[in-house]
Structure 1
Amino acid sequence: MQKCITSLFVMALVFSACHRNAITGRNQLNLIPESEVQAMAFTQYKEFMTANPAVPLNTNKDAVMVKNVGDRIISAIKKYYTEKGLEKELENFQWEVNLVNNKEPNAWCMPGGKIVVYTGILPYTLNEAGLAVVMGHEVAHALARHGNERMSQGMFQQLGGMALSAALASKPAETQNLFMMSYGIGSNVGVMLPFSRKNELEADRLGLMFSALAGYDPRESIAFWKRMAAASGGNKPPEFLSTHPADETRINELQKIMDQTVMQYYRK
């Protein structure tokens, strides 16, 4: 009887926590209100940037490039959301784009629009279009609430599905570590929680669209992911690939949607 009651409680919890994402149209497990996730994200972002100061725009051309590419993608996203009548989805976003000195080939976008690119990924992006592939992909993860989805899954499995405020109060270290792992922040976060294949394909598709709408050739994505795949050299892959698998399957999937993306969204 107790097991039955527990099962019913779990089913009710999961059902009540399902959220339909405005841009993907898919139901997700979101145990945490997006407002709470964004509040935590802004706190973690501030701490990260204090420990990892941004590369100054006035002294570094790469920092200027990252800012310019990010601004173009953000502008394209705002326009797209407005055209689709989804502007309320972005009303609490506080967009910010920074480059930080870190040799890890990594990049991420927090809930609420805080975007960070590591200098270590620039040798793989090579150009603005390659950088747009990375930034579009990471912003897509944030807009599709993939981090919230996998953090919710982690909280359900590790913390019994308790509310974020309760988890922070009773288990602050575990909760903060789960957040860092869920969003791939920092270079010493341990084993990051993997995105599902569905999450990755959504981020690929949406990221490709966003970079194309921003005026970057989406076909550069194929060359970029091939460079990232080759970077492993048969050994442990770069941190960026621990949750972003670059393999023939991914490249094949990108090629399937490439012609349509170019025709429908790319404007030089």
Structure 2
Amino acid sequence: MHPILRFLLIACGFASLLAACETAPVSGRSQVMLVSENEEREMGLQAYREVLSKEPLSRDAQTNAMVEKVGRRIANAAEHPPQELWRAPRFRWEFKTVDKNEPNAFCLPGGKVVVYTGLLPITKTETGMAVVIAHEVAHALARHGAERMSDQMVASVGTAAAAVALSATVSGRSRTYLPAMMAAVGAGATVGYILPMSRAQESEADRIGLVLMAMAGYDPREAVALWERMRAASSGKRQAEWLSTHPADTTRIADIKRWLPEALQYYKPR
């Protein structure tokens, strides 16, 4: 390749990366996004359909109603944020409970939330469930799945090639990156591998989630008790995939306590 052409490709790559910069909600952290919101939502919908085709849905009406209720309250909070926190999402929310003894949950892009019944002994209460769902919705609000995929694209193909990838068709990239999208949001076990969030993203989802649940009328202080129960449940056992890349329990609980004053500003009990 001619040196000038190579230089132009690299320059275009850096320009594309700069144009793709976004800011995460609440934390204000800078992000690079090489996946558009439309692409992200399409992949989320495809992944959601794949999950539902493989996993047994709960037939427990009470559990389903509780997950739906909590999810709708969190979703309503996500759609009506104080202006300075985030841009209201354009999601078509759905909430499903999978009947599986596994402590797992995820929110696919576009607002498709899946909760496994294996979490119920740990969440215990409606507010405990709100901690989990708010954390997962926070991942979707902050577009962590798309960000993780973007990181992988840049790392694997380089800046210039990543810029070229921006012009790929939605349908073509959806087929190529669907497994990665599923893995990036925690549904990777259904396709055989995990593309974990970074610890920074997990901590960010904790912080955003506290604000979300507080806005939804759930006491964010319950998050401390929830993660203490999570720590007790995982003690001495093989760690669940959902928890494998999360911050250490002691660090997470300390961070949550530090962020509680921020979240409590938005808390109005119902």
Distance 1:53 1:76 in 2: 29
Instruction: Assess if the C-alpha contact under 8 Å between 1:168 and 1:176 holds in 2.
Output: no
Overall identity of the aligned pairs, in %: 41
The aligned runs of 1:49-68 (5 Å cut-off) are 49-56=52-59, 59-68=60-69
Match of 2:91 in 1: 93
Distance 2:212 2:12 in 1: 40
Deviation at 1:182, TM superposition (A): 0.8
Instruction: Assess if the C-alpha contact under 8 Å between 2:79 and 2:88 holds in 1.
Output: no
Query: Are 2:103 and 1:115 equivalent residues in the alignment?
Result: no
Deviation at 1:262, TM superposition (A): 2.5
Distance 2:191 2:73 in 1: 30
Q: Which has the higher mean CA deviation after the structures are superposed, 59-68 or 192-201? A: 192-201
Q: In the alignment, which of 25, 36, 46 is matched to residue 43 of structure 1?
A: 46
SS of 1:187's partner is helix
Question: Which amino acid is 1:29 matched to?
Answer: V
Distance 2:247 2:192 in 1: 17
Distance 1:258 1:8 in 2: 43
Instruction: Assess if the C-alpha contact under 8 Å between 2:183 and 2:196 holds in 1.
Output: no
TM-score by length of 1: 0.85
Distance 2:232 2:10 in 1: 46
Instruction: Assess if the C-alpha contact under 8 Å between 1:105 and 1:238 holds in 2.
Output: yes
Distance 1:14 1:261 in 2: 32
Residues 143, 78 of structure 1: CA spacing in aligned structure 2 closer, same or farther, 3 A cutoff? same
Deviation at 1:252, TM superposition (A): 0.5
Match of 1:84 in 2: 83
Q: Identify unmatched segments of 5+ residues in structure 2.
A: none
Q: Which has the higher mean CA deviation after the structures are superposed, 198-207 or 46-55? A: 46-55
TM-score by length of 2: 0.84
Residues 36, 260 of structure 1: CA spacing in aligned structure 2 closer, same or farther, 3 A cutoff? closer
Residues 191, 170 of structure 1: CA spacing in aligned structure 2 closer, same or farther, 3 A cutoff? closer
Q: Which has the higher mean CA deviation after the structures are superposed, 156-165 or 128-137? A: 156-165
SS of 1:265's partner is coil
Match of 1:141 in 2: 139
Distance 1:246 1:224 in 2: 14
Q: In the alignment, which of 235, 238, 241 is matched to residue 239 of structure 1?
A: 241
Match of 1:178 in 2: 180
Instruction: Assess if the C-alpha contact under 8 Å between 1:192 and 1:242 holds in 2.
Output: no
Instruction: Assess if the C-alpha contact under 8 Å between 1:192 and 1:243 holds in 2.
Output: no
SS of 2:80's partner is helix
Q: In the alignment, which of 200, 221, 225 is matched to residue 223 of structure 1?
A: 225
Q: Which has the higher mean CA deviation after the structures are superposed, 205-214 or 223-232? A: 223-232
Q: Which structure has the higher relative contact order (CA within 8 Å, separation 6+)? A: 2
Distance 1:199 1:251 in 2: 16
Deviation at 1:89, TM superposition (A): 3.7
Deviations 1:208-258 (A, max 9, x none): 111112121211111111122223324431121023334111110111122
Residues 169, 112 of structure 1: CA spacing in aligned structure 2 closer, same or farther, 3 A cutoff? closer
SS of 1:116's partner is strand
Instruction: Assess if the C-alpha contact under 8 Å between 2:94 and 2:112 holds in 1.
Output: yes
Query: Are 2:107 and 1:104 equivalent residues in the alignment?
Result: no
Distance 1:48 1:201 in 2: 26
Distance 2:119 2:5 in 1: 49
Question: Which amino acid is 1:133 matched to?
Answer: V
Q: Identify unmatched segments of 5+ residues in structure 1.
A: none
Q: In the alignment, which of 29, 36, 52 is matched to residue 26 of structure 1?
A: 29
Instruction: Assess if the C-alpha contact under 8 Å between 1:228 and 1:246 holds in 2.
Output: no
SS of 1:237's partner is coil
Residues 23, 87 of structure 1: CA spacing in aligned structure 2 closer, same or farther, 3 A cutoff? closer
Distance 1:70 1:20 in 2: 25
Q: Which has the higher mean CA deviation after the structures are superposed, 118-127 or 234-243? A: 234-243
